[in-house]
Structure 1
Amino acid sequence: MGEWNGLIERASGSSKVVPWSSGSTLTNAHMARIDGKWFVAQFDRSSGDLVTAFVPNNGQVGAMLRLLGK
């Protein structure tokens, strides 16, 4: 769990933030490139609570980068 928390902390400090959702919960997805792989931590837009964290698939990465204008 310590490593997972470290990944979440690193992602939460990223400047790459896009509006996203998890189910019906609107979130801000923080993207970080860690050890050559993308990692995303999503936080509820209203409360700021962590909703989920994951390694995104290529489609998700592409969509998020497009939202960032990349």
Structure 2
Amino acid sequence: MAEWRSIIERAAGSSKVIPWSSGSAKTWAYVSRIDGKWFVAQFDRATGDLVTAFVPNNGQISAMLRLMGQ
């Protein structure tokens, strides 16, 4: 659990932040590269609570990078 928390904290420090959603929750997605892999941590826009954290699939990361203009 400590390692997972550390990865989420690292992702939360990313400057790559985009509006996203998880189900019906509107979130800010913090997109980062950690140990050579893409990682996303999503936080609720209203409360700042962690909603989800995951390694995005190719379709997700492509859409996120497009949204960032990359």
For the aligned pair, the TM-score class normalised by the smaller chain equals over 0.9
Identical aligned residues as a percent: 74
Indicate the residue corresponding to 2:65 in structure 1: 65
Shift of 1:68: 0.4
- Measured in 2, the distance between the counterparts of 1:16 and 1:62 equals 14
TM-score by length of 1: 0.98
The yes-or-no answer on 1:50 pairing with 2:39 is no
The yes-or-no answer on 1:7 pairing with 2:7 is yes
Q: Across the two proteins, how many residue pairs are aligned to each other?
A: 70
TM-score by length of 2: 0.98
The unaligned stretches of length 5 or more in structure 1 are none
Which residue identity is paired with 2:22? S
The unaligned stretches of length 5 or more in structure 2 are none
Q: RMSD between aligned alpha carbons? A: 0.4
Structure 1 stretches of at least 4 aligned residues deviating more than 2 Å after TM superposition: none
